[in-house]
Amino acid sequence: MFRRILFSVITLLLIFSFLFHPDILTIIAGISMFLFGMLCLEQGFRQASGGLLSSILSRTTKNRWSSYLTGTLSTSILQSSSLSSVITVSFVSTGLVSLSAGIALVAGAGLGSTVGTWLMAAFGMKVAISHYAMPLLVMGTLLQLQNNHRSKGTGYVLLGIGFLFLGIHYIREGMADTGDLSLLTTNYGLLGGVMMGMLLTVLMQSSHALLVLVIAAMANGLINFEQSLALCIGTNIGTTATAALAAISASSNGRRLALGNVIFKLAAMLAILPTLPIWQSILLQISNIIGISDSPMLQLALFHSLFNIVGAMLVLPFLSPLAQVLSQLFRDNSENTDLDIPLPGKEPAKAKLLIPAALEHPDAALIALQNETSRLYRRTVALIGFGLYIGDDLLHPDDEAPLPESVPPWPNWRVGKLYKLQVRGIHDDICHFCDQLEPKVGPDQKASILAIRTACDNFTSAIKHLRLLQKSLRKHIRTDTPPVRKHYWLLRSRIVTTLRRIRSLSLENKEDIAKAISALKKDIYRQDLLTGDSLGTLLKDGQTSASHTTSMINDNGTAHDICNSLIDGAVILMLQGQGTILQQNQDSKANKTITPIWSTRL
């Protein structure tokens, strides 16, 4: 809704400008080219990164200072603090980056974005950069015609840089020729200038675009240095609006990060604005030391850097307490990580991390898919344990303890009903998200998406087979006939052993996964044969009827299908290097003791 209103406002302003101020058409065209160049750069970095960005972030966000440095360096390349903030919101929402690391990243992004200001102040108003734009546009277009995913991404990057150069050129030319830029050049005073800088940045959705206008206006003598400082402060605050808009559809952590970004910028503003004359004196002294005292535009770039450094120095030392305070905000029921099977009648579970914002960034989207697949697998295991009359402590014991033959009191709930409540909604969301994401990624990431989707299909298939087995278990698990009771104990033990072996293989990180899985399947097949022989003996000795034996043979095949579905799903993930998805039960047990909900109801 907000974006629609913003689009309508911008459209009306443009129509008004075209009708009553035709002399600023060149500037508006330059701004449009500049913004289009930013969009091309964003698209190019998404396609060209391929999964590299998530790998870098996972290694470089171990502490606040490395996260801050990563944000600075990455935004120096991306040249958009708004884009970096939106990407970070997506990564924090999907669990790739922690909240505290995310705040440090956006703080670093603020400093990294000032590199572009330095370049524009130093060269943008002096060098005929339009000459460099033409070959960049040609090369970018040629690369766009290639089929290779990374080549297309590189083409977008070159096109983006070319349009940025053209945009700066036309903004500079328009500033020299225009007769009326009162919206920008009017002296609103200090607070008024800050507010105008915020408003224009929100309208243009780019702090760089406004700073290009400010530098061009300074170069043509249309505004003084104090006006440019007020607009610079305003554009630093206004740039948080983009991340705030992205956070609307993000998870609770994403919204907390957007608020943390606002706090970071406001802290810098509150520290500098009341004492601006002092900071101007400091700015002048530094300018004299580094030799830029005769260039107001370079001094503005220096002020832009100082503003973000001051904000970082105010926020980073208190990062942990700030993250703790923010973690108490925007709480919702979906943050409950309890693995308990809910009582029938509750709302069906849905995916929590597969948000629209994640689709814009393939790295974040893949992490979200992995986390939701892990959640689906945990629920699959919990539901299989429930259907087999087995608690979580027996599914994942500290040692390979045998399954007890006795069965505790158990609620009379159907696996099919619980499947609809606990798993089906998440599985449907994962499949829909995969369909949306696949056209936006490269071949390697498509292979990961296919692996995740196929694994989820296998896990849900195991539950569907379990529905058939549960019908027989309900009838015979407490039977007075020892051979029948032992038969179903063997089937339950076989499935439990399979789950234990899957977890063990995911933790061992064996090089030859295929060989280990083959051995596991052969062992299951051998147990199938032994079970078939024992059932034949029972029938021959008259301990069971022919119809009952047929039913137990079918149940033996169903147990085999459950084991195979679980193994097939697990091996696909492990062969794709995503075996950590299967280790989450271990992590959960390390973090807390899980009390099944049904044990509190009996």
Tell me whether residue 279 is in a domain: yes
Q: What is the pLDDT of residue 324?
A: 86
Kindly state whether residues 311 and 383 are assigned to the same domain.
no
Confidence class of residue 593 from pLDDT cuts 50, 70 and 90?
very low
pLDDT of residue 528: 74
Residue 7 lies in a domain: no
* Whole-angstrom distance, CA of residue 387 vs CA of residue 125: 72
Q: Show the tokens assigned to 305.
A: 């850097």
What's the domain count of the chain?
Answer: 2
Rounded CA separation 84/108 (Å) = 10
- Range from 211-220, 491-500, 540-549 that averages highest in pLDDT: 491-500
Residue 16 domain flag = no
Same domain, yes or no, for 421 and 304? no
Q: What is the pLDDT of residues 324-349, one digit of tens each?
A: 888 887 765 444 444 444 444 567 88
Q: What is the DSSP letter of 340?
A: P
CATH code for the domain in which residue 502 is found: 1.20.58
Per-residue pLDDT tens digits for 272-290: 999 889 998 999 999 999 8
Residue 337 included in any domain = no
**Gap between the Cα atoms of 171 and 24, Å rounded:** 9
Contact at 8 Å (CB) between 338 and 594?
yes
Q: Name the more confident of 243 and 32.
A: 32
Q: Render pLDDT for 76-135 as a digit per residue (tens, 0 to 9).
A: 876 666 566 666 766 776 666 788 888 888 888 888 888 888 887 877 655 566 677 888
State pLDDT tens for residues 249-273: 566 777 888 888 888 899 999 999 9
So what's the pLDDT on residue 310?
92
Lowest mean pLDDT among 216-230, 367-381, 538-552: 538-552
Residue the block writes with tokens 């196929």: 454
Say yes or no: 68 and 209 in one domain: yes
Which DSSP state fits 442?
-
Residues 90, 232, single domain; the answer is yes
How far apart (Å, rounded) are the C-alpha atoms in residues 592 and 339? 11
Residues 323 and 367 in one domain: no
In this structure, the answer to whether residues 399 and 306 fall within a common structural domain is: no
State the Cα–Cα distance between residues 161 and 27, nearest whole angstrom.
18
Q: Is residue 15 part of a domain?
A: no
Q: How far apart are the C-alpha atoms of 301 and 214, rounded to whole Å?
A: 11
- Identify the domain containing residue 121 by its residue range: 24-327
Q: Record the tokens describing residue 248, joined without a space.
A: 């609307």
Same domain (yes/no): 54, 152: yes
Q: Are residues 320 and 398 in the same domain?
A: no
pLDDT at position 345 is: 52
Residue 344 lies in a domain: no
| 378 band by pLDDT with thresholds 50, 70 and 90 | confident
Q: What average pLDDT does the chain have?
A: 77
Is 6 inside any structural domain? Answer: no
pLDDT at 393: 64
Q: Calculate what percentage of the chain has a pLDDT beyond 70.
A: 73
Q: Which residue has the higher pLDDT, 500 or 583?
A: 500
* Domain match, 310 and 364 both: no
Same domain, 287 and 414: no
Judged against a pLDDT cut of 90, whether residue 388 lies above it is answered with no
Residues 82 and 169 in one domain: yes
In a domain, 299, yes or no: yes
Q: Which residue has the higher pLDDT, 424 or 479?
A: 424
Q: How confident is the model at residue 49 (pLDDT cuts 50, 70, 90)?
A: low
DSSP string, 195-232: HHHHHHHHHHT-HHHHHHHHHHHHHTTSS-HHHHHHHH
Same domain, 317 and 362: no
